[in-house]
Amino acid sequence: MVSVNMAVNLGGIAMRNPLNTASGTYGNGWQFEGFYDVGATMGAITCKGVAAEPWAGNPAPRLAELSGSAIMNSVGLQNPGVASFVEQYGPYLQGLRDKGCQVICQVAGHSIDEYVRATELYEELAPFASGFEINISCPNIAAGGAAMGATPAAAAEVMRAVRPRTSRPIVVKMAPHDVAEIGRALEDAGADALSLINTIPGMSIDVRTRKSRLSRPTAGVSGPAIHAIAVRMVWECAQAVSIPLCGIGGVSSAEDAAEMILAGATAVSLGTVNMYDPACAPRILAELEQWAELQGVSDINELIGAFEC
Ligand SMILES: Cc1cc2nc3c(=O)[nH]c(=O)nc-3n(C[C@H](O)[C@H](O)[C@H](O)COP(=O)(O)O)c2cc1C
């Protein structure tokens, strides 16, 4: 019988265990109900990025499988807009809250005004949201997204604009660069937690047609191939900030999740793995608990940042 405390706190979001989901890779939860009881299993889920108004996203093809344990996507944050999102998924997401699973709603925008507007709409319409994740790191849209988080000053400006619009916890989703400097700027601007990393921009060319394998020349790489890079960035960011981190990037096993925790992550998100191993979360959670017990601790929090150089 495992008896380790698995509860963690991600910047004011009290999670029963460290397992979260990476935005855009998990639908909005209900798609996984056929595999396990989402509300009874997950510490939290993070929903797909949603903007104030609906976005059509990019043309197809939007996904390509790469050799070497990775995929590439250029979905471009297709979403129905906050009001329609809340209408469609609100009752299900409230049900998750009722079962003890936290619900993090992701906010997307092309400009500071759009981030503010989407946050205000969520604040008004979504009582089920435990907190918000501000996505300033999407590499697949022409305006906003990663450009909003490209420098410490730009990232902090978004954070400062959004901060007064809600008293609920704000997590900021970071791009895979300059994570120490940008993380510090976000902490100073009032972020409660940081999540990292978003996908890494890449290219994949069909050599027969000489065209991109996706509808855009570049797209975001994710999956096991990026895991070691993500662990390094979580560790670098953890040295620079004192707010909690959610580790994201190529996690596909309990061992991968444990690495994130040792590098300094309080929570860990499952992303691309959900697409090829949709039943993985309960197994990873049970094995993570066994790992913590084998490490001889009674509380998983003792292992956060416990990496020894
Ligand atoms: C199909 C797809 C859609 C995604 N959509 C979003 C999104 O809406 N917002 C976001 O912040 N990240 C999005 N991401 C990035 C993931 O949340 C995650 O940061 C990234 O995939 C790295 O984690 P992984 O290697 O475990 O998948 C998406 C990734 C994929 C593969």
Tens digits of residue pLDDT in 148-171 = 889 999 999 999 999 999 999 999
Give the separation between CA 27 and CA 246, rounded to whole angstroms. Answer: 19
- C-alpha 163/C-alpha 183 separation (Å) is 16
Name the helix (H) or strand (E) containing 112.
helix 112-125
pLDDT in tens, 46-105: 999 999 999 999 999 999 999 889 999 999 999 999 999 999 999 999 999 999 999 999
| Ligand 1 near 72 CB (within 6 A) | no
Exposed e or buried b per residue across 244-262, where buried means at least 16 C-beta atoms within 10 angstroms of its C-beta: bbbbbbbbbbbebbbbbbb
Phi/psi at 50 (nearest 5 deg)? Answer: -130, 140
Backbone angles phi, psi at 150, to 5 degrees: -75, -30
For CA atoms 306, 177, 228, 31, the dihedral sign is positive
pLDDT at residue number 236? 98
CATH code matching the domain that covers 8-303, chosen among 3.20.20.70, 3.40.309.10, 3.30.70.20, 3.40.50.150 = 3.20.20.70
CA–centroid distance, 220 to ligand 1, in Å, is 8
Q: Which of 63, 170, 195, 222 to probe ligand 1 with, by most ligand atoms within 8 A of CB?
A: 222
Q: What is the pLDDT of residue 1?
A: 62
Atom of ligand 1 nearest to the CA of 197: 19
Mean pLDDT of 222-248: 98
pLDDT at 133 over 80: yes
Q: How far is CA 83 from CA 46, 108, 118, 131, 256, in A?
A: 17, 14, 9, 17, 36
| Sequence-ordered list of residues with C-beta below 8 angstroms from that of 298, at least 6 positions apart, any chain | 3, 4, 5
Indicate whether residue 225 lines ligand 1 (CB < 6 A). Answer: no
Which residues have a catalytic role annotated?
138
Nearest residue (by CA) to ligand 1, atom 5, is 24
Between 268 and 145, the more confident residue is 268
